[in-house]
A = this chain, B = another copy of it.
Amino acid sequence: MDLHNRRTIRKYASTPVSDQLLKDLLQLAARSSNTGNMQTYSVVVTRDEKQKELLSPAHFNQPMVKQAPVVLTFCADYNRFTEWCKCRQAEPGYDNFQSFIAAAIDAIVWAQTFAVAAEREGLGICYLGTTTYNAHQIIEVLHLPRLVIPVVTLTLGYPDDMPELQDRLPLEAILHDERYHEATKEDIDRWYAEKESLPSMKQFVAENKKETLAQVFTDVRYTRKNNEYFSNVLLEVLKKQGFLG
């Protein structure tokens, strides 16, 4: 798959992903930009069935975790860099929020370059947004130490399915020339018209017994209650792993 026709893949063929290819792609992706060339990131590779079973609840039992041949948990990691400092008579100062954000950015840049490189090789990926919801469970299963936090998870394998291309907002909705321009009601109507008119989205609204597509998001998929609950959980994880005072 190339960038213009890529799809998120949620069903994988039984074809194994070779260890050498996986390593080559991870090393290739590590050529991406990163802050000060500190490489404050790590990935944990899960292939073991028992480990997948332990990881699965952290991802709300989404079937990709057990079905994909490989699960990759990309982490913001200041542990290794801090150890290096300690071994070299240097006083590390990376147990703070700004260091977490910088490390998280670099981990995500690495993960997404990996995703692009993997898709170029005919592999398919799916991002699991559950990673930051249940980071505490993932930390336990993967034995992540202080100053390491999982940020994004990718399931990986050869596609067994080629879903339809998903809609995207028109570019004018996401691009701002020189200054941010807040959306007017007319802008909103124009930008969301295509999405709201799709049969799949209309079905989604009907199945959830809602009046509008937006209500499916606010009342079912991404609710205030869940967002607030998992915000507190994540802030606690940041404290526990040493990134927040």
Interface positions of A from 168 to 217, Cβ below 8 Å from B: 168-169, 171, 173-180, 182-183, 185, 188-189, 191-192, 211-215, 217
Question: How many protomers of this protein does the assembly include?
Answer: 2
A17 at the interface (CB under 8 A from B): no
Nearest B residue (CB) for A189 = B87
Residue in B38, B83, B228 whose beta carbon sits within 8 Å of that of A93 in the complex: B228
Nearest B residue (CB) for A29 = B3
The count of chain A contact residues (Cβ–Cβ below 8 Å) is 113
- Give the residues in chain B near A87, CB-CB below 8 Å: 185, 188-189, 214
Interface positions of A from 1 to 46, Cβ below 8 Å from B: 3-6, 8, 23, 26-33, 35-39, 41-46
A64 at the interface (CB under 8 A from B): no
Residue in B4, B99, B142, B148 whose beta carbon sits within 8 Å of that of A227 in the complex: B99
Expressed in whole angstroms, the minimum distance between the Cβ of A5 and any Cβ of chain B is 8
CA A185 to CA B88, docked complex, whole Å: 10
Residue in B23, B35, B219 whose beta carbon sits within 8 Å of that of A175 in the complex: B23
CA A37 to CA B200, docked complex, whole Å: 13
Q: Are A97 and B215 in contact (CB under 8 A)?
A: no
Q: Are A179 and B3 in contact (CB under 8 A)?
A: no
- Give the residues in chain B near A180, CB-CB below 8 Å: 42, 44, 75, 142-145, 148
A137 at the interface (CB under 8 A from B): no
- Give the residues in chain B near A43, CB-CB below 8 Å: 174-176
- Give the residues in chain B near A39, CB-CB below 8 Å: 168-169, 173-174
- Give the residues in chain B near A32, CB-CB below 8 Å: 6, 112, 115
